[in-house]
Structure formats: C-alpha cells, structure tokens
Amino acid sequence: MIQFALKRLGIAILVALTVSMLSFSMIYLSGDPAVALAGEGASQEDIENVRRVYGFERPIIVQYGDWLVRALQGDLGHSNYLKSDVASVVFERLPTTMLLGASALAFALILAIPLGVVAAIRANSMIDRVALTIAVIGQAMPSFWFALTLILWFGINWRMLPITGTASWLNFIMPSIALGYYVTPAVMRLTRAGMLEVLSSDYIRTARAKGLRPMTVLFKHALRNAIIPVVSLSAVQFGFMLGGSIVIETIFAINGLGFLAWESIQRADLPMMQAIVLVFSVFYILLTFLADLLNGFLDPRIRVA
C-alpha cells in the first residue's frame, strides 16, 4: 500500500507542477502583462517602470521559478483591483465554496446511489425507467436554468427559501440542489451499471446459495464492490463542482471563491484569476489522489495494476 501511495503521490506532484506552469502562463494570455497593469493611456515610460518593478524583463523560466517559490510559501501575489494580498482574499472565500461543493456532492450521492441500487435490483421495471428518466433530465438540463427555476418557484412564488446570501444553512439548499443535480445522472448510471455487473457474478450467487440474508448480500458484498468506481467519479465531480460553482455562486450571490472568480474576470484582475485557477486545480489533484488511495484500500487488486 505504501509503494502504491508513493507512486500516486509522484504522479500527483508532476500533474501539480504542470498545472502551476499553466497557471503562471495565464498572466501572459492577454498580451504584455506590463501594459495590462499600467492601464489604458499609460505612457511607454510607465509601462517600462511596471515591467521593471514586477520583473517582467527577466526570462520566463526565471519568473516562473520565483513565482513558484513564492506560491509554495503562500505568497500568491497582490490584487490589482482589491489592493490586498491575494492569498488572504482567496482563503477567506474558500470555506464558503468548499461548503457549497460538499453540500452539493452529498445531495448527489444521497439521491443517486439509492436510485442506482434500486434500478439495478429492479432492472427494466418502472422504477428503473423512472431512474433513467431522472438521469436523462439531469444530464440535459443546464445548471443555470435549473437554478433560476428553483429561484422562481421556491424563492419567489412560494417564498420557502432565501434566494441570496449565506446567512444560514437555508441559503445553501437551492444552490446545493442546482449544483448537485447535474452530477446525479453520472453517479446513478455508474452505480446501476456496477450493481448489475456485480449481482450477476459468481461470488454473489455463492453468497446467496450459502443462505446469507438478502440485505447482507446486497450491501456487504455487492454494493462494496460496485461502489469503487463511484468513489473515483465522486472525487472528480467534486473538483468539477468547485470550478462549476462560478455560475451557481454568481446566480445566488454567494460570496465564495466562484463569485470571486467572476468578479476577477470582470475586473481583469490577473493575479487573482491566476491564484483561483491554481487553488481549484490543486484541490482537484488532491481529491483525485485521495480517491486513488481509497480505491486501493477498498480493492487490493488496484495496488498491483
């Protein structure tokens, strides 16, 4: 297990370095960063001063090395618009986004896994068709449209839930549903497919022949093996939801990292955008690494694959 974990850790570090290079290159996507920082109407002398102050005249590899060292020390730069330290702003908003992502993932798993299990047990029945219909609707429906529909009915017409803000846990119900429902179809279909495959295997037939209780066979033997790919998918989807929170947080005016990303794009705040992309990417890599470890623990065969 230790060798497997070290191998996965090495891959994660290489991916993180690649992502850091891409994040660093973002500052050059809009052209000369010195011109962008100097602002419209800046003279050539002002541009040269900005280039000298920020070290843009140095080779790219040197700039990247300095930026990476500072990032590892927690220094992600200075916001051009907010006039404050980028790291402090990012990590101040991060818990809100993490809470939203965790709530959305919990909603998706609580809805999708039971649906997938029931659909597999009652394959080709009415329940199976209803579950597949829910999956198709969730896959086809844009999350922003679903969010606006929730606001219209539960927030405006029925006045059951607050529309904006983060004052209480009630504020996270509609955003979590809107963000999590998009993930539900993939988890449900994967759970259903895994359960169908496992339920038809020889060791399940042997367990039933030994007289084990149906619930023991279903949950202890079948679901444990069928859930392994769901673990990896959940980690990946959680990373996607952190990035996808930009749309949901903007619609519901949630003051999280996604809303900060939207504000930074509008303001062309390159250091802030750079830091947000880096933080989202690192969390995605970390979640994938943890999912690999958990899969290796649940299924020893993965360790020698």
Q: Which domains does the chain have, with CATH numbers?
A: 86-304 (1.10.3720.10)
Please say if the pLDDT value at position 35 is more than 80: no
What is the pTM assigned to this prediction?
A: 0.83
- The three-class DSSP label of residue 226 is helix
C-alpha to C-alpha distance for 26 and 31, rounded to whole angstroms: 10
- The three-class DSSP label of residue 162 is coil
Which among 107, 90, 73, 72 has a CA at the least distance from the CA of 238? 107
Please say if the pLDDT value at position 236 is more than 90: no
C-alpha to C-alpha distance for 270 and 259, rounded to whole angstroms: 15
Please say if the pLDDT value at position 31 is more than 80: no
pLDDT in tens, 86-128: 889 998 999 999 999 999 999 999 999 998 888 888 888 888 8
pLDDT in tens, 62-78: 888 888 888 888 888 88
User: Mean pLDDT across the stretch 236-246?
Assistant: 81
Please say if the pLDDT value at position 305 is more than 60: no
C-alpha to C-alpha distance for 278 and 16, rounded to whole angstroms: 9
Token pair for 121: 């047990």
The chain-wide mean pLDDT, for the chain, equals 84
Identify whether the C-beta of residue 303 lies closer than 8 Å to the C-beta of residue 104: no
Please say if the pLDDT value at position 179 is more than 60: yes
3-state helix, strand, coil in the chain (%, to 5): 80, 0, 20
Q: What is the DSSP letter of 74?
A: T
Please say if the pLDDT value at position 53 is more than 90: no
- The three-class DSSP label of residue 78 is strand
